[in-house]
Amino acid sequence: MTTGFKLKRAFFNESKGKIGEIALFQAFIRAFNVLGSDALAKEYHGSRYQVTFNAARGAGRPTPRCELCDVMIVHYPANNASAARITFNQAKVTTKALSCSRSSIAAGPESFRANLEQWDLLSNRPSINPATKTFNPPIDLLSGAILPSVGTFGVFYPSGASFDFAYFVASELTPLTNGYRRSGTLQWAAPLNVTRSIAGHEEVTGTCCLLTFGDALEQSQIGTPIMPLLYGAAGSAQMRGWLTRVLLSLRREHPDSQLPDELLSGLELRSVAEERNPIIHAGEPSPPRAVILVRT
C-alpha cells in the first residue's frame, strides 16, 4: 500500500465527526502515525510563534505580524537523507468539496478564507524577523529557498462522511480581493497534480487529495531542497544551527525514531550538533506549531 493510500485512509478515519480547523489539523497530524517508523509527527501544544516581515501584497499593514505556519513537513527518500525537502504549510478548512483524481485536473473556481498576510508571507517569501522572544527562526528561512513550495497551504474539505486534504503552493493562490483587511478569500489558480521544474528541481504545484499528496511525497516533489538552504549561495550558519536544534530536540523526545539521526547525518549537521555551541544547545529549539518528518 502506498504512502498516499495509507494517509488518506488514516485521515478519513481520524477526521470523522470532527468540526473546525483545529480538530482537523490535529487529525491530520495523527494520521501520519499510520506510517509507523517511517514518520515522526510532533505537535507543540499552545505554541503560536510569530514573525514580522515587510509586506509585498500592496495592501494592509506595511510590517505584518503573523504565524510562520501550522506545520513544518520534512520528507526524504529512504537511504538518501541528503535529498530531504522542507515545506512550511498553513492549514485551512472549506465547506466545499473538491474534485479528486490522480490525473491533472483544472483548479477552482472553489476558494477558501485565509489570512492574506499569511499568504503574503508564504507566497512572496520575504526575509523574516522574530516577533517574540521565544521564536528565533533564520532570517532567510523562506527567502533562501530554491523552490516556491517552501511556502504552502493545506485545505481540509468534506469528502463523504469525513474529510480530505488538498495541498497548494502559496504562490499559485490568488486573493479575490486584496484590501486592507487581513482576512480574505484565496482562489485555487493553478491546475492540480501538475509538476514543474525550477533550477533542475521538480515540484508539484498542488494536489487534490491525500492520495496524490502521498504520491508527490514519494516522488520528492513536495517542498524545497534543504541542502541549498544550508550550504548553497544563500546558506547560513543560522539556518544550520536552527535546524540542528529542532532535530536534536526531536531525537531527545523520540529516542526510538531513526529519522532525526538520519537527517542529522544526511544533511551533514552532525558536526554542528557536536559543537560546544551555546546557541545550538541552550533553550528550546523554537519550531513551528507542529513538525512532521517523513521517510518514503
Q: How far apart are CA 126 and CA 129, in angstroms?
A: 10
In whole angstroms, give the CA distance from residue 165 to residue 212. 10
More confident of the two residues 285 and 293: 293
Report the C-alpha gap between 175 and 153 in whole angstroms.
Answer: 13
**Amino acid present at 68:** L
Grouping H, G, I as helix, E, B as strand and the rest as coil, residue 192 is strand
Mean pLDDT of 14-31: 94
Give the mean pLDDT of 109-138: 89
158 has a pLDDT exceeding 60: yes
Measured CA to CA, the distance from residue 282 to residue 266 in angstroms comes to 23
- Report how far Cα 17 is from the mean position of its chain's Cα atoms: 25
Higher-confidence residue of 169 and 284: namely: 169
pLDDT, mean of residues 221-232: 94
Q: Does the pLDDT of residue 279 top 60, yes or no?
A: no
Residue 278, all three cell numbers: 551555546
Question: For 28-51, what is the mean pLDDT?
Answer: 87
Structure-block grid coordinates of residue 90: 498553513
- pLDDT at residue 18 greater than cutoff 60: yes
Percent of the chain with pLDDT over 90: 68
| pLDDT above 70 for 16 | yes
- Calculate mean pLDDT across residues 103-120: 79
pTM above 0.85, yes or no: yes
Mean of per-residue pLDDT scores for the chain: 89
State mean pLDDT over 114-131: 95
Give residue 285's pLDDT: 59
Residue 282 binned pLDDT confidence (cut-offs 50, 70, 90):
very low
Q: What pLDDT, on a 0 to 100 scale, did the predictor assign at position 265?
A: 96
pLDDT at 45: 67
The per-residue pLDDT for 104 is 64
pLDDT computed for residue 281 by the predictor: 47
pLDDT at position 101? 65
Q: What share of the chain in percent tops pLDDT 70? A: 90
Q: How confident is the model at residue 266, as a pLDDT? A: 97
The 8-class DSSP code of residue 129 comes to: E
Is pLDDT above 60 for 280? no
